[in-house]
Amino acid sequence: MSNEEEKWTVYNASQYLPAVLSDPNKGKQLNFFTRTWGDAFVEKVEVERSPFLPEITYGHFDQYFRKYGKRHRRHQRLSEAKLEETNKPKLKSEIPESQDKLAVIPKIYLQSEFNLNDPKVFNEVFKYETKTEHDLQEELSYYLDIVEEHIAKQVSQKSGAFFHAMTSHDTIMEQMGVATNEVRLLRSKVQKVNKCLTRDALRILALARAKNNHVALVDKLKLMSTVLQTQPTLQLLLSSADYVGALELIAGTQDVLARELAGVTSLRHLPSQLKEMSKLIDKMLSTDFERYAAADLHRPLDTNEGVLEPDRLISLVAGLLKQSHLQFLEIYKQEAVTAAKALLKQLMIEQLADAEDELNELTGSGEVAPPMDSDHWLKVLKLGSEALGKMIYRVKAVHDLIRETADISAGLVASSDYGSARTDVFLSESDHQETVNKLKAMLTSVCDYCNERLAALISTQSDKNSITAHQVANLAKIVEEFTGMCERLCGRQSAALKAAFKIQAGNYVHKFNLQRKNKLTMLLDAERWKSAEVPPEIQLLMDNLALGDVIKSLPGSPTEEEMSTTYTNKSTVALKVGTQDYVTAGTVLILIRLVIEYCVCAYDLQLLASVIGRNLSELLRTFNSRSCQLVLGAGALRTAGLKTITSTNLALASRSLQLVLWMIPPVRSHFRALTGDALSGFDSVEKDIGHHIQQLESKILSIMNTLLGDQLNEWDAKPPVPSKQFRNISRHLTKLHEAVSSVLPEEQISDIYQEIHKNFKTRIRDQLVKMNIQNNGGPQHGLVTSETIFYLQTMKMLKVLPEKFVGDNAMDDIWDRYTKWQLRYPNTQQ
């Protein structure tokens, strides 16, 4: 191929060799390497006519040719005529002297691409249609003359430079030869330098670079080999339950693939495989933890193994924490709830196995229990609380192990008690705090649910099935133990169980209070207000109450040793409390036992101790008000059939109230120790009882004042001495002493008689003023003195007044003027 021809490229080929070689339609070609390359290298295939294109003939263009043919020929003639006039050369004579002759030459002859081989150029030069051969030759000769003239002109102008160049040609050639030799010598020296100094150094650098490249390549190959061992290593780690190691291996491999081995084609599918493997491990962790939770919570409760498979649990928890999947705590909580339901349902089935009709009432989830008798119900409740307590302890053990694993994963604890388990530090502080909060919420939720289930079981007890005090005490013990355990484990009280117990215990306390209140009312209505003998059991109750300690149970009958040393087999007349002897009515003895029963009930039901204390204060208030109605209001005449309310009845009621008043402080301290509350209701009861006692004493004094006043009104200070009236006064005083001496203490009797004595002197002074008897030593004065001496002898015989009130001069002040006495004692009744 010559240089003048255009350079050949692949685009000049008639066939594309790769397309020919890879033609699948040809199959195996036997003569492929014997054929000559060219247009005939590939067999020609005629392209069939398309069935979708119509066949076009010249007849389709006849109408067009006829219409536009004439116009086209006319347009062509006009265009050629105009061009001929434009291109017609002017003669030499016609060109002005001043015009540039080169401008006459057409520009086509001056173009660098002038080539007569080009048909367009040829047709432009040789226009035989408009020029003859002679005209063309003349035109070209003229153009040649112009060019030669200009060349000669240029040669004449540049002749000096031309001849100078010709003369210096030899010198230039000589200089070029010297330069060539210098260049050749320089090149040889450069080659020697390159060979001796540069080539080896560059080769060393190249070898060092190659070595580094080879080392890097070997490292890459080793890294690729290690990466390719990821899947077998993962299987080995998963077989040993090392989920954290497997997840860290996946994360490390993905990081290496992203940074070190990016773009390696042979490993392009490995990241997606590792991602799928990570998802598979997530699923395995969730499934294995669900199985572990079911196996741990549904195993028999009598086993005391602590945490089931702690190494396995640590591995599962560490893997789940590594993936930040805290939903497993919710799964464990739900499994614990399911286990609690199953436990209670199984207990109900076992306890009701003998009654098929009751079994039919069980629901599928064990949420609602059928009604049952009190003993059976309490037994089920006790067994249920024990079973749920064991399950909660099991949940607590798992909670502690998960918390320890989270602490180790966060770097807060150095190592675990379970040394074989492997954990690494990967948990952030925020994730650790979230895990701790959810763990606490899980344990609290399980405790709350167990409390709710036991509360539902307590609520099933029907009001028709009454429960005894012992059963309520056992129920309170069960509730206190279970709620105390839950509070110790989760650090928070659950109100559901205590609320249900309060409702159940409240019903019992209401019945308890109503029964005893009705009993006390019936006993008071039937009370004849006579002194009753005190059995040893009541004396023992009072002795325990006098100790001031918390009363925890009703004391039994005194033992034989106590009967021989402290108590007697027979009942006593009075109840001994310290140095005091209390003669009381029989109702008060029953009231003492009722009060002790309230105290014991409050100790057994400490959650409702304040309610029981208020009920007891209401009971004492009822006793006080009802006894007031029966004695002071004379209601006993109708209810008990008494003929009259005597001083003995009044004194016995007063002494009974004094005993009740004595019991209030130790009872108050008992309830204060249980509730921490002062229970102000007892204060108001104390005031009411104290006021009632004063009213009873006032009633006795009123009766005596009336009797003595009536006798003094009939007294006329005449013989005989003592008069009938003073003998009656002495008899009334003696009868009163006989009525109250066996009931009231001496101090109170003395106070009553002092008040009677004071009132008597006031009345006799008024009578003396009225009768105008003066202290003048006359007969009436002597008679009055004899009467008063008889009165004082009666008082001395009764031994109810101090010596100063019964001395020889004790009655001298009755002779003072009435006005002077009134000034001294302004509050004394007339």
Residues 305-325 pLDDT 10s: 678 888 888 778 877 777 777
Is residue 622 a contact partner of residue 694, using CB atoms and an 8 Å limit? no
Give the tokens for residue 740: 């109250």
Q: What is the DSSP letter of 302?
A: T
HSE value, Cβ hemisphere, 13 Å, CA-based, for 312:
14
Please give the Cα distance from 556 to 735 (Å, whole number).
Answer: 41
Instruction: Report the amino acid identity of residue 718.
Output: K
More confident residue, 627 or 418: 627
Backbone angles phi, psi at 106, to 5 degrees: -60, 150
Please give the Cα distance from 235 to 241 (Å, whole number).
Answer: 10
Q: Is 46 a residue whose pLDDT tops 60?
A: yes
676: left (phi over 0), alpha (psi -120 to 50) or beta: left
Is residue 479 a contact partner of residue 382, using CB atoms and an 8 Å limit? no
- Find the angle CA(538)-CA(541)-CA(547) to the nearest 5 degrees: 145
Give the tokens for residue 620: 């004492």
Q: Which of 390, 397, 387 is nearest to 332 (CA)?
A: 397
Please give the Cα distance from 475 to 469 (Å, whole number).
Answer: 10
Q: Is 249 a residue whose pLDDT tops 80?
A: no
More confident residue, 698 or 466: 698
592: left (phi over 0), alpha (psi -120 to 50) or beta: alpha
More confident residue, 211 or 62: 211
> Looking at residues 276-292, what average pLDDT do you find?
82
Give the tokens for residue 252: 């490390």
Residue in the block written with tokens 């979230």: 434
Share of the chain above pLDDT 70, in %: 83
Is residue 647 a contact partner of residue 739, using CB atoms and an 8 Å limit? yes
pLDDT digits (tens, 9 = 90+) for 323-358: 777 888 888 888 888 988 888 888 888 777 644 444
Please give the Cα distance from 470 to 456 (Å, whole number).
Answer: 21
Q: What is the DSSP letter of 809?
A: T
Share of the chain above pLDDT 90, in %: 7
Residues sharing a CB contact under 8 Å with residue 356, sequence separation 6 or more, in sequence order: none
Helix (H/G/I), strand (E/B), else coil: 575: strand
309: left (phi over 0), alpha (psi -120 to 50) or beta: left
Confidence at residue 416, expressed as pLDDT on a 0 to 100 scale? 59
Residues sharing a CB contact under 8 Å with residue 331, sequence separation 6 or more, in sequence order: 286, 289, 290, 293
Q: Which of 441, 218, 227, 405 is nearest to 327 (CA)?
A: 441
Q: Which alpha helices (H) appear in 229-269, and where do they start and end?
A: 230-239, 243-259
Q: Given CA atoms 408, 409, 412, 414 in this order, what sign does their dihedral have?
A: positive
Q: Which fold has domain 715-824?
A: Monooxygenase (1.20.1280)
Give the tokens for residue 43: 């067999």
Is residue 667 a contact partner of residue 595, using CB atoms and an 8 Å limit? yes
Confidence at residue 619, expressed as pLDDT on a 0 to 100 scale? 92
Instruction: Determine the distance from the C-alpha atom of residue 254 to the mean position of all C-alpha atoms in its chain, rounded to a whole number.
Output: 37
> Looking at residues 55-64, what average pLDDT do you find?
82
Q: Is 13 a residue whose pLDDT tops 60?
A: no
Domain ranges of the chain: 304-493, 509-696, 715-824
Please give the Cα distance from 59 to 70 (Å, whole number).
Answer: 18
pLDDT digits (tens, 9 = 90+) for 477-525: 888 888 888 888 888 877 888 888 888 878 888 888 898 899 989 998 8
Q: Is 459 a residue whose pLDDT tops 70?
A: yes
Q: Which alpha helices (H) appear in 555-677, and where do they start and end?
A: 560-565, 586-604, 609-631, 636-639, 647-675
Q: Given CA atoms 549, 551, 552, 555 in this order, what sign does their dihedral have?
A: positive
Q: Is 93 a residue whose pLDDT tops 90?
A: no
The dihedral over CA atoms of 446, 447, 450, 455, expressed in degrees to the nearest 10, equals: -140
